[in-house]
Amino acid sequence: MKNGVKNDVKRLYSSLNTMYYNLKTKNSSRYQSKGKDLESFSEVYKVWKPPGGPNVILLRWYMTEWCNYKCPYCSQTHGRFEPKGDNLKAHSFDNFPIDRWLEAFRLHFKNVKLSLVITGGEPLIDKKNMVKLLTAFNEMPEIECVRIDTNASWNVDWYKGLDKSKIILMCTYHPSQIEEHQFFDAIQKILDNGFHIGMINFVITSETREKYFEYKNTFKKMGVPLHPNPIWDKSGHHKKEDMQFFENELPTVDYLYRTGTKSPKGKKCLFPSLAYEMDFKGNIHIGCYPKTSVNFLNSKLPLPFPGPVTCPNTQCACLDKYSFLEGINRNVTTNPLELYSQALLERK
Beta pairing partners, 62:
119
Q: Which is nearer to ligand SF4, 219 or 271 (CB)?
A: 271
Contact 66/78 with Cβ under 8 angstroms? yes
Query: What residue ranges in 157-279 does DSSP mark as E strands?
Result: 167-173, 196-204, 226-230, 268-269, 275-278
Q: Which is nearer to ligand SF4, 89 or 264 (CB)?
A: 264
CA atoms within 13 A on the CB side of 213: 4
Query: Of 167, 186, 284, 311, which lies in the binding site for ligand SF4, with binding defined by CB under 6 A?
Result: 311
Q: What Å distances lie between residue 60 and 114, 208, 276, CA to CA? A: 11, 30, 6
Does the footprint of ligand SF4 cover residue 294 (CB under 6 A)? no
Contact 90/281 with Cβ under 8 angstroms? no
Instruction: Tell me how far, at minimum, the Cβ of 320 lies from ligand SF4, in Å.
Output: 8
Instruction: Tell me how far, at minimum, the Cβ of 225 lies from ligand SF4, in Å.
Output: 23
Restricting to residues 313-342, which ones interact with ligand SF4 according to CB under 6 A?
313, 316, 321-322, 324-325
Instruction: Tell me how far, at minimum, the Cβ of 273 lies from ligand SF4, in Å.
Output: 9
Q: Which is nearer to ligand SF4, 167 or 269 (CB)?
A: 269
DSSP 225-249: -EEEEEPP-TTS---HHHHHHHHHH
Instruction: Tell me how far, at minimum, the Cβ of 91 lies from ligand SF4, in Å.
Output: 26
Contact 294/14 with Cβ under 8 angstroms? yes
Beta pairing partners, 64:
91
Query: Of 199, 200, 288, 294, which lies in the binding site for ligand SF4, with binding defined by CB under 6 A?
Result: 288
Does the footprint of ligand SF4 cover residue 28 (CB under 6 A)? no
Instruction: Tell me how far, at minimum, the Cβ of 334 lies from ligand SF4, in Å.
Output: 17
Question: Exposed (0-12), middle (13-18) or buried (19+): which is 11, by Cβ within 10 Å?
Answer: middle
Restricting to residues 255-274, which ones interact with ligand SF4 according to CB under 6 A?
264, 269, 271-272
Instruction: Tell me how far, at minimum, the Cβ of 59 lies from ligand SF4, in Å.
Output: 14
Does the footprint of ligand SF4 cover residue 57 (CB under 6 A)? no
Q: What Å distances lie between residue 58 and 109, 154, 163, 270, 330, CA to CA? A: 11, 26, 21, 11, 14
Q: Which is nearer to ligand SF4, 67 or 316 (CB)?
A: 316
Q: Which residues bind ligand SF4 (CB under 6 A)?
A: 264, 269, 271-272, 288, 311, 313, 316, 321-322, 324-325
